């Protein structure tokens, strides 16, 4: 199991606390420092069953500068969104937990983190 975190994020810290309390085996990826590639973002999106706009933090300053709220949310715009996430990793929703069974969850709630733990 891997968890993408921003240490400054309270949801990330809560997820780590819960993972530790449950004795989960995981690795931490500080994705603002170890920035995911476009291919890694595509893989995680596939595991999540989501589109890039579903995991984009549209209230961030970079999102406003890019005008993301105006971007189309369709298949032809998917690569543009993924490129923006790779170039501006702060836009990626957090924490993202990839489970051993090939799935992933956005662990913003205790229930989602527990779901990831249950998947191994």
Q: How far apart are the first and last CA of the chain?
A: 7
Strand locations in 13-87 (E)? 27-30
User: Would you please indicate which residues are annotated as catalytic (active-site) residues?
Assistant: 9
Neighbouring C-alpha atoms within 13 Å toward the C-beta of 8: 4
What token pair was written down for 119? 């998947």
């Amino acid at each position: 199991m891997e968890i993408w975190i921003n240490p400054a994020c309270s949801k990330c810290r809560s997820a780590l606390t819960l993972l530790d309390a449950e004795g989960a085996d995981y690795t931490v990826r500080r994705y603002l420092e170890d920035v995911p590639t476009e291919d890694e973002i595509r893989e995680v999106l596939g595991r999540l069953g989501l589109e890039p706009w579903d995991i984009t933090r549209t209230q961030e300053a970079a999102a406003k500068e890019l005008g993301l709220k105006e971007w189309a949310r369709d298949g032809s715009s998917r690569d543009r969104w993924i490129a923006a996430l790779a170039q501006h990793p702060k836009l990626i929703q957090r924490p993202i937990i990839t489970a051993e069974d090939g799935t992933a969850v956005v662990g913003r709630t205790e229930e989602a983190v527990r779901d990831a733990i249950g998947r191994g």
